[in-house]
Amino acid sequence: MMNASELLLDVRQLRVAYGKVEALTGIDLRVPKGQIVTVIGPNGAGKTTLLSAIMGILPSKGEVHFDGRLQPVPEVEKLVGQGLGLVPEKRELFATMSVQDNLELGAFLRYRRGDRHLATTLAEVYSLFPRLFERRHQQAGTLSGGERQMLAIGRALMGKPQLLMLDEPSLGLAPLITREIFRIITDLRRQGVSILLVEQNARAALKVADYAYVLEGGAVAMEGPAAQLADDQRVIEAYLGLASKHQELLAS
């Protein structure tokens, strides 16, 4: 199903250890061009660790191929330059700087390479998130949780990434905004951006994704086309069924 030539990200036998504790024990993961791949799993499974290791924030063992190139030691700045973007779980916004400054800094590497079309991208991001435009002079640290999420995604988009890695973009968001975020994710795929999506909201993630991995205890427990996994009995029990049972309980 996946042709090797159109693979954007190819991770082989990735291992990460915090001291003596192994957080990832040999992960194989692939993201083809133009697709949404999701990684779901319980808390502490190692999802955030996985994204950090791919990005080069954490030291790791194994191979990371991005855009056909092997990254001997993944280096954050280099990977960003090659078109890899990460919206981390902690967002890492520039709290004391304005929304607009945050967005402009998202395009720093493009600017450094002489690309002066930042205004167009800025306008695109603002049309995607009109709320950010209203708040463009406000300090990023004073934004609401949802607005910060939007800013983090918008800032990553300013770099025009080929592959955008999102760590729980719906974390702490109202259902309406969550739906909006997922709509934007599908929009991005249409524009040719590939996406690696880490989510707690497994139902929504499996709905938008093309392919899915289930991560448990630092290893891939299951993988397959997203639609197929959404029908899988184990996944329904562990990640979808419980949620709906939980919601039924809440409703009653």
Partner 1 sequence: MNFQIAVLLGQDGVTNGAIYALLALSILLVFTVTRILLIPQGEFVTFGALTMAAIQSGKPTALGWLLLALVLIDCALDLRQMWKTGKQAGAMNYGEIKWSAIKIGYTAMLLVLLHSLTLADIPMLAQALLTLALVVPFGPILYRLFFQPIASAHSLVLLIVSIALHVAMVGIGLLLFGPEGARTAPFSDSGFRLGPVMLKSQTLWVILVSIALIVMLFIAFERTLYGKALRATAVNRMGARLMGISPVFAGKVTFAMATFIGALSGILIAPITTLYFDSGFIISLKGFVGAIIGGLASYPIAAIGAVAVGMVEAFSMFWASNYKEIIVFTLIIPFLLWRSLTSRHVEEEE
Ligand X SMILES: Nc1ncnc2c1ncn2[C@@H]1O[C@H](COP(=O)(O)OP(=O)(O)OP(=O)(O)O)[C@@H](O)[C@H]1O
Are 163 and 66 spatial neighbours (Cβ–Cβ below 8 Å)? yes
Are 111 and 159 spatial neighbours (Cβ–Cβ below 8 Å)? no
- Binding to ligand X, residues 39-98 (CB under 6 A): 41, 43-49, 89
Residue 124 has which token pair? 């695109």
Residue 201 has which token pair? 């909201």
Per-residue binder mask for Mg ion (CB under 5 A), 71-110, x = binder: ------------------x---------------------
**For Mg ion, which is the closer residue by CB, 147 or 167?**
167
CA atoms within 13 A on the CB side of 248: 6
**Closest alpha carbon to 85 in 121, 139, 116:** 121
- Selection from partner 1, ligand X, Mg ion, none that 6 binds (CB < 5 to 8 A by kind) is none
**Closest alpha carbon to 178 in 149, 135, 140:** 149
- Selection from Mg ion, partner 1, ligand X, none that 13 binds (CB < 5 to 8 A by kind) is none
Gap between the Cα atoms of 205 and 39, Å rounded: 9
Q: Is 80 in the site for partner 1 (CB under 8 A)?
A: yes
- Distance of closest approach, residue 11 Cβ to Mg ion, in angstroms: 17
- Choosing from 26, 111, 217, 222, the residue that interacts with partner 1 (CB under 8 A) is 111
Q: Is 48 in the site for Mg ion (CB under 5 A)?
A: yes
Q: How many residues does the chain have?
A: 252
- Distance of closest approach, residue 65 Cβ to ligand X, in angstroms: 22
**For partner 1, which is the closer residue by CB, 81 or 224?**
81
- Choosing from 34, 62, 88, 224, the residue that interacts with partner 1 (CB under 8 A) is 88
Gap between the Cα atoms of 72 and 204, Å rounded: 35
Buried b or exposed e, range 56-76, using 16+ CB within 10 angstroms: bebebeeebbbbeeebeebee
Positions that interact with partner 1 (CB under 8 A): 55, 57, 69-73, 76-77, 80-81, 85-86, 88, 90, 92-97, 101, 104-106, 108-109, 111-112, 141, 155-156, 159
Positions that interact with Mg ion (CB under 5 A): 48, 89
